[in-house]
Structure formats: structure tokens, C-alpha cells
Amino acid sequence: MITSDSEIVVRYAETDQMGIVHHSNYPVWFELGRTDFIRKLGYSYSKIEEAGILLPLTDLKCSFKAPARYEDEIIIRTHIEKMTCVRITFGYEIFKKKDMSLIARGETFHAWTDKNLKPVNISKRMPELYGIMEKALKSD
């Protein structure tokens, strides 16, 4: 499986009154990791959308292991958890860069659709993209 690491530094606006990253930021970080992962495969969300394909979120899971705080350097590690021709699940691990301690683990579940949100078979609509993603899933 191919993974992609994306780095960020926690901004003050992402923290709550306790100085801990608010839980609402993790889906945003997952999106950052996911779009970066796809970009590193040679595609971009905008290129996929120009082809009339969308990737709406259907479900999201997040398990918190330790707090992240203001100015922590964070690594978002993204991979494809599983994939079919009409659905894809991305997995995420979020680490503190300084000691690689696990902060959170999560998954996002998506469907490949057209602009009317009707399911599409990505292997038929964009076979090159499907092939690249299939390779990223199966690579060691």
C-alpha cells in the first residue's frame, strides 16, 4: 500500500479554550491528506471534477488517541483502505512529527458520482485514475 505524508503546523485558530486542537479540525485535516494523496498520484480534485466526476463523503470515523496543541508539527499519513469501482475508503493516521506519537486515526468513505450525484463506475469513466489508485492500494 502506498502512503502519502502531508505536514502542517497547528494554528491558534484550530485550538479550543483548553489549548487543544478542536475535534472539528480533523475532517479538514483528512481532506488535506486525501487531496494531497491524490495529487501525489498525478491527479488533482479539480482535474477529476473537470471530467464530471465527484467524490462525495458518505461516512467519517475518527478515534482520538492524544491531544494536539498549538504549534505542534503534525504529519497526516493517508492511504487507500479499500476500493471498488463505485466506492473508496481512505485511511488516516495523524502523528506529532517530533516523536511520531499517534494523535488520531480515521477513515472517510466516499462514492464516485456524476454531477447529479448518481453513482458512476470509475474504472469505466476514468480507467487511468482507477488503475493508479488500484496500484496504490495493492503496492507494498
Structure confidence by residue, pLDDT tens digits, 3-43: 999 999 999 999 999 999 999 999 999 999 999 999 999 99
Please confirm, yes or no, whether 5 is among the known catalytic residues: no
Ramachandran region, residue 136 (left: φ > 0; alpha: ψ -120 to 50; beta: rest): alpha
Q: Among the options 5, 16, 114, 140, which is catalytic? A: 16
Residues in the chain, total: 140
Structure confidence by residue, pLDDT tens digits, 52-101: 999 999 999 999 999 999 999 999 999 999 999 999 999 999 999 999 99
Closest alpha carbon to 67 in 10, 21, 7: 21
Closest alpha carbon to 97 in 78, 73, 77: 73
d(CA 65, CA 3): 20
d(CA 61, CA 51): 29
Neighbouring C-beta atoms of residue 96, cutoff 10 Å? 18
Which H or E run contains 122? helix 122-125
